[in-house]
Amino acid sequence: MIAPEDLADLLAPTAGAAAGPPETTRPVLLDVRWRLLGPPGRGDHAARRIPGAVFVDLDTELAAGPSAPGPGGRHPLPGPAALQAVLRAAGIRDDAPGQLVVAYDDVDGSVAARAWWLLRWAGVAPGRIRVLDGGFTAWEAIGLPVAGTEGDAPEPDPAPPGDLVVRPGAMPVVDADGAAALARDGVLLDARAAARFRGETEPVDPRAGHIPGARNTPAAATAGPDGRWPAAGVLADRFRAAGMAPGTPAGAYCGSGINACAIVLALEESGLTTPDAPAALYPGSWSEWSSDPQRPAATGDRPWAARE
């Protein structure tokens, strides 16, 4: 994570001026604002954005296009070539250790974490990638400059196209069988809201409930009321309560593999996992699992509660 104040310092016109060319010293900003039931975030980006930010569409650029529940889930991982084109267009370079990439949304980082995860999966070094703590809401709340049709801050010159080579596979993923194994033999964390985990409601996917054995740690509860994340120790206590410990085989899922990325990030922030041994992501998540009638669904608060 990176605080808005720290990002503002890095974006100052004189920041890093003597360190090298602008394309390797100025952070690349990815605006990934998105809402499950719409409207699209592109309009928000056009109206008000952090100066220099590039909008990246979650549905069509950070996923292989929105789809119906089924194999791969509602937000399948993008193909390497398609993702490479998106990241190059944003100006991300391949061998540029001084170039930071910062993703932001307008809530609690749970959507921006998808960009963080994909960059890591693509082979970008962990030290180069951050999520803006508190997102655009926190940026505006402390009066930092805003560009767009409703902002008056000047835009910097656009960065030249990047040359990033996507090398997929640097972050672990599991399929449905792998998720079931983690729920049985390790810790599988469900990032959805508690009511969806318990099976009381299901607004978008074929069936309600959760993967038997999963533990509920809603991504939205990771942050405080202001959208900022707590200290590492607080995060660690939350995950320990769900059965996590250093070295425990762990994975995360949600509705379609978006918010679960925030759990993978939060586990690293907590110190319970490391960049060398991160938690696995189940990209298909509940949208894939629930579309298969052969897969059981548990309901209630407990991991192994009543199953269909």
Which helix (H) or strand (E) element contains residue 102? strand 101-104
Write phi, then psi, for 280 (nearest 5 degrees).
Answer: -85, 155
Cα–Cα dist 84/203, whole Å: 33
Candidate list 102, 188, 252, 254, residue with the active-site label:
254
| 254 has catalytic annotation | yes
Q: Residue 101: beta bridge partners?
A: 28, 129
Q: Residue 188: beta bridge partners?
A: 251
Centroid of chain to Cα 167: 19
DSSP output for 255-306: SSSSTHHHHHHHHHHHTSSBTTBPPEE-SSHHHHHTT-TTS--B-SSSTT--
Assess contact for 189 and 84: CB atoms under 8 A: no
Q: In the chain, how many H helices and how many E strands? A: 11, 8
Assess contact for 258 and 75: CB atoms under 8 A: yes
Instruction: Match 């309600």 to its residue by tokens.
Output: 208
Centroid of chain to Cα 248: 22
Prior bond of 71 cis (ω within 30°): no
Assess contact for 251 and 182: CB atoms under 8 A: yes
Cα–Cα dist 132/113, whole Å: 9
Assess contact for 111 and 258: CB atoms under 8 A: yes
Cα–Cα dist 16/159, whole Å: 15
Cα–Cα dist 186/194, whole Å: 21
Q: Which residues are catalytic?
A: 254
